[in-house]
Structure 1
Amino acid sequence: MINSTEAEKLAFTFLTHEWNVPSEDRDWFTVMASRTLGEDGYDVEIGIDGFPDRWIIEVYDNGKCEPYYEFNSPIRDSETNSDLEDLPDWIAQVLIAERKHR
């Protein structure tokens, strides 16, 4: 069984590789929390500091990540996106798309 630190690293690597995040932009993303799923693995929350949006990635006890991650945000797609102006454009576009897709 993996531990929470390993699960966090695996989830972070999964998300940044899934989106082909350039190495210079990876510092925008942070592991916010992880919760055990008992013997099954962990839920790992990844977000951007200062933003309420979260991607939740399930990491199984065998080290594999569930390819269908969950996205949570209290911000509705009908609300303004002015909070994104300081982010790199591609990250802002990802957040806009995720907020609309939910």
Structure 2
Amino acid sequence: MAWIMLVVAGLLEVVWSLAMKQSDGFTRLVPSVVTLVTMVASFALLAASMKTLPLGTAYTIWTGIGAIGAFTVGIVVLGEAATPLRLLAAALILSGLVLMKVSTGDA
């Protein structure tokens, strides 16, 4: 259950980062509210997952899901550049997440 909460927390991090971008510096009400609500929910789920998962693993996976997710949303939704070097960097982050998950040894 901790892993499910952690993945959802990471996905919510992607939502709040996109909403923050759309809030235009917190000058637009709806994206600002979405940012704050999803941010709180993301932190709450991260905290709950840390009850059973190691700190380093949970935080690394959470930030990694957020980083890769925001990177992907930036390319797909916002039209940001998908250069070979950026794609390589994302692949390295993703490989680090897989190694972190495998290194914990629990399902």
TMscore range, shorter length: under 0.3
Larger radius of gyration: 2
More helix by share: 2
Bigger strand share: 1
TM-score by length of 1: 0.27
Larger RCO, structures 1/2 (Cα 8 Å, 6+ apart): 2
